[in-house]
Structure 1
Amino acid sequence: MTPRTLLLSSKRAARYLEQGTGEPLVLIHGVGMQAHAWYPQIEALSAGFRVIAVDMPGHGNSDALDANAGLRQFVQWAIEFIEALDAGPVNLAGHSMGSLIAAGVAVTRPDLVRRVAVLNGVYRRTPEARQAVLQRAAELSAGAIDVETPLRRWFDDEEAQRAAAQKVESWLRSVDPQGYATAYTAFATGDETYADGWRTIACPALVLTGSDDPNSTPTMAAQMADAAQNGNAVVIDRERHMVNLTAPEKVNSALRAWLQVEPHESAMKHSNGIVRPLHS
């Protein structure tokens, strides 16, 4: 993986990792993570694609946005980044907060997006779920960073998950607190921002989550896929929020299938089913 930096039109620096050649595949991670959080996908998909994993603003080595930035400002940042790549329409995938950004770009600038993939995304939270994330955002803004709670929520005690959990813990402990709080607040308040726009997404849209993710639920995935004009929902059994790290082979298989769907097929709406790949 080669680290690179782009200066965006806003004069902010965006740091990213690049590997492979071919159609560009841009990956945007979730809150508290960094570009390296896509390492299983970078390694697997760079055999056929130019994989570009970018640090979200205020994460890794990318410059932060203003402290009061909302989801629309993160989407504008992603638009600037894609334009600065000057690679034409890209395949765009996001995880968690990154999925909200990816969907926002697909809604507002479809000319920049060849295909869109949403991993462990949120869509029209219940009032109870929204209150829980708003409380977490307030705690982060006040300087209280709790690493242990998300780790318990995202990973189990199986030996196969320990290595991924250790990496995630190191990223959470190293993230800039202000950048973390800004992104999480945008995440907490952004699930409705582009929800109505899903019906305008015409490119191939993959919506993937884990069956045991209580916040990015299978129901949300089905709703997003059904709203899109060419959407497909994939639910991976017995997996949680960090599914790209805990079930990388299944996630990579779903991403490869999505990357093979020709964009022109989006002109015809087809039935959306929840597909469960091989059981864990």
Structure 2
Amino acid sequence: MAFADVDGVRLFYTDDTDDTDAKDDTSDGSVLLLVHGWGSDSHEWSHHIPKLRERHRVIAVDLRGHGYSSSRDTGNTPRRMAADLAELLAGLGTGPVVAVGHSMGGQVVSHLAVEHPEAVRALVAVDPGYGFAEPVASGFPAMVAALRDGDTGAVAVEIDRWSYTPATPALIREWHRRRTLATPPHVLVEAFEAMFAVPGAIGVRPNSDGYLARRGCPVLSFWFDPGQAAWESGLFKDPRSRTVVWEGSGHRLHEERPAEFLLVVHNWLKALAGARA
């Protein structure tokens, strides 16, 4: 494990790879950057890292204000988090990465791809926190007010209830409840507001449309909502991009179905490598 000092915060990250002969046979050469969601941390990827590092160098980071990373009094926004990641990757000398982001992490890696395109080879967005239309979008200002004026941790846990279905394992629910409660309240408020309730926030339409259309790299996105998937597919610029829809899954579908998730990602990265050859 390691820490990096970036813009006045200390970021925790892990940097893993397995030096085996099998890795040489199956890797497409991609470095993977794994980015968690709001109120979570890089432990979210514990289901996936052991398999991913068999084929790739895998960097998993705690975003500012989350997990073991520190925060500032202000500036705890997805756009600033993306700048942190660009600086981290430059310091590690990774070259362009495949950036994988869940929920708020989907916003963060999209900002990374738009604002720092030299850092991103491809994106994987997992039920990303962008592109919400009415009536969902109209409810975000009230959620921000509740986070700001009430018991922030308790309100955040209540907001997170929509993430689950009756089939979601209790372990996933409890793990995220505890991580949310451990996140500094000012970080939860500022990050959520920046995602969904400030001018130009890409969490809502139409702000999201023009901004996400600036992602020139290939994008693989996972959704449980087919309507959201159909909307995003119209914004792709690279013909190798695709959406995957798993109806009936919860918001954390990569944790609910980790083996299937890894298989789909692996096959898509393998196809990208073949297209480059």
TM class by shorter chain equals 0.7 to 0.9
Task: Indicate conservation of the 8 Å contact 1:201/1:229, yes or no.
Answer: yes
User: Which of 204, 224, 231 is equivalent to 1:223?
Assistant: 231
Aligned partner of 1:89 in structure 2 is 96
Aligned partner of 2:21 in structure 1 is none
Q: What is the CA-CA distance between 1:104 and the residue it aligns to? A: 1.3
Q: Does 1:195 align with 2:209?
A: yes
Query: Matched residue of 1:32: which SS?
Result: coil
Task: Indicate conservation of the 8 Å contact 2:4/2:10, yes or no.
Answer: yes
User: Which of 176, 188, 192 is equivalent to 2:184?
Assistant: 176
Q: What is the CA-CA distance between 1:265 and the residue it aligns to? A: 4.5
Distance 1:167 1:35 in 2: 12
Task: Indicate conservation of the 8 Å contact 1:114/1:263, yes or no.
Answer: no
Query: Matched residue of 1:40: which SS?
Result: coil
Aligned partner of 2:45 in structure 1 is 38
Distance 1:136 1:154 in 2: 15
Structural mapping, 1:130-279, within 5 Å:
130-144=137-151, 145-146=153-154, 148-150=157-159, 152-158=161-167, 161-189=169-197, 190-191=201-202, 195-210=209-224, 217-230=225-238, 231-262=241-272, 265=275
Q: Which amino acid aligns with 1:232?
A: R
Consecutive unaligned residues in structure 2, runs of 5 or more: 19-28
Query: Matched residue of 2:33: which SS?
Result: strand
Task: Indicate conservation of the 8 Å contact 1:19/1:51, yes or no.
Answer: yes
Query: Matched residue of 1:82: which SS?
Result: helix
Say how many residue pairs are matched.
Answer: 256
Q: What is the CA-CA distance between 1:119 and the residue it aligns to? A: 0.7
Distance 1:79 1:264 in 2: 27
Distance 1:188 1:235 in 2: 23
Describe the shift of the 1:221–1:78 C-alpha distance in structure 2 as closer, same or farther (beyond 3 A): farther
Instruction: Report Cα offsets for 1:22-74 as digits up to 9, x if no partner.
Output: 63200111100011011112122111111111111111121224425544323
Instruction: Report Cα offsets for 1:137-171 as digits up to 9, x if no partner.
Output: 2222224222553454223444x611222211221
Aligned partner of 1:98 in structure 2 is 105
Aligned partner of 2:25 in structure 1 is none
Instruction: Report Cα offsets for 1:170-226 as digits up to 9, x if no partner.
Output: 21121121222221112223325553133333322101112xxxxxx3322232233
Distance 1:64 1:54 in 2: 14
Which stretch shows the higher mean deviation, 106-115 or 250-259?
250-259
Q: CA RMSD in A?
A: 2.4
Structural mapping, 1:54-69, within 5 Å:
54-67=61-74, 69=76
Instruction: Report Cα offsets for 1:69-122 as digits up to 9, x if no partner.
Output: 544323222222222222111110111111011111112222110111111114
Query: Matched residue of 1:206: which SS?
Result: strand
Consecutive unaligned residues in structure 1, runs of 5 or more: 211-216, 267-280
Q: Which amino acid aligns with 1:201?
A: R
